[in-house]
Amino acid sequence: MGAAGSLVCVGLGMLLGAHISPRARSHLEQADVVFVLASDSLTELWVQSLHADVRSLQPCYGEGRSRHDSYRDMVALMLDEVRAGRRVCGAFYGHPGVFAKVPHVAIATARGEGFEAWMEPGISAEACLYADLAIDPGRVGCQHYEASQFLLYRRRIDPSAYLVLWQVAIAGDRSLRRSATPAPYRQLLVERLLQDYPDEQRAIVYEAATLPIHTPRCENIALTHLPQVALSLKSTLVLPPSRPLQPDSILQVRIAELDRIHAAVPSTNPQGVL
Amino acid sequence: MSNSLQFLVAMGSNAHMAQLNPAQYAAAVAALDLDDDSRAALLDRDGDRLGALLGGRQILSCLIAPAEDEPAREGGEEEPEPDDDGERNA
């Protein structure tokens, strides 16, 4: 019997040299073949230096080509090697499972065919965003949406929490063939956001740094100026809360009643109380 | 690995190197064994130019998160849903 193939998808993190975990690097170095999707050409070159057989997934993209076709090809390339009995490592920028369809589909496909397949987390652009913008998502909450999906489907926005819209440069694109949508699409996004936010709402255009010679982009803008702002595929739009947390007086009364019934007592559990 | 790429990786992984002031950075780049074009790209902090000099691939896209699922193709197989049970299928 030949060796059973396997698939592990790992994250490269965002910043070259800084973010790859020891275990992710070990998976990469010990694989039979590595597929890489990096957001920076220098990062791809670096991954190529770590293994003799590194295959870029960039050729799956094409000018005017639907990215649905690209994603299908990426999965097929990795699964072909898994089926051939090889230990495959898919190395993706950031976290391989955050705003990343291809690794999830590849792993599900491999598992469905009986192969061992799993994902190792990485440092995502989201994680970098929290550090670079000094945001704690736990303080007042943080909502994340893909920008086009936010336009195409009804979402309930809580303006007392942060709102983060990813892939904002292609907001409104249903073709998956564009690298940017024209200003009127972003104007539509602004109009949608102004349903929940005041006219004077500020926003931040954020881009994580991918090279240590760069600094992150943290550009504070008026939300209404979004159609005129230069965006790239790496751009993310962050809206800070526009109002404080709104107390839920009904539930607060009910919690107070529960507190009276279940008054806290000193714990005799030597393990402590969680 | 090229000297310039090694330098960038070291900057990324070394806390001290990540905090170099402009003069220190310029001195560190000057001390590297590099061709003039690579040195200029590093001094200008131009990652795109350096990538091109090193023969890096053009990054056409890095998007792998569609807003919607692909419309079902006639006669085509459906994509498997990602597992929710967290099992590795070992």
Q: Is A93 marked active-site?
A: yes
> How is residue A215 written in tokens?
């600094």
Instruction: Give the pLDDT score at B89.
Output: 45
Q: Which residues of B touch A56 (CB under 8 A)?
A: 57
- One of A86, A87, A93, A197 is an active-site residue; which one? A93
A219: which strand partners? A205
Active-site pick, A67, A86, A87, A186: A67
Total beta-carbon pairs less than 8 A apart between chain A and chain B: 151
Out of A23, A25, A55, A71, pick the active-site residue: A71
Sheet bearing A142-146, strands edge to edge: A142-146, A162-166, A236-239, A202-207, A217-222
**Burial group, residue A191, by CB count within 10 angstroms (0-12, 13-18, 19+):** exposed
Instruction: Fill in the DSSP letter of residue B70.
Output: P
> Residues 6 or more apart from A99 whose CB is under 8 A from it?
A124, A125, A146, A166, A167, B64, B65
Predicted confidence pLDDT, tens digits, chain A (274 residues)? 445 999 999 999 999 999 999 999 999 999 999 999 999 999 999 999 999 999 999 999 998 899 999 999 999 999 999 999 999 999 999 999 999 999 999 999 999 999 999 999 999 999 999 999 999 999 999 999 999 999 999 999 999 999 999 999 999 999 999 999 999 999 999 999 999 999 999 999 999 999 999 999 999 999 999 999 999 999 999 999 999 999 999 999 999 999 999 987 655 555 555 5
pLDDT confidence of residue B90: 41
Name the pTM for this structure.
0.91
Contact A111 B51 (CB under 8 A): no
Take residue A29 and report the two structure tokens written for it.
């170095």
Measured between alpha carbons, how far is residue A217 from residues A106, A128, A143, A226, B79 in Å? 32, 11, 20, 15, 36
Chosen from A66, A69, A109, A213 to mutate, greatest number of chain B CBs within 10 A: A213
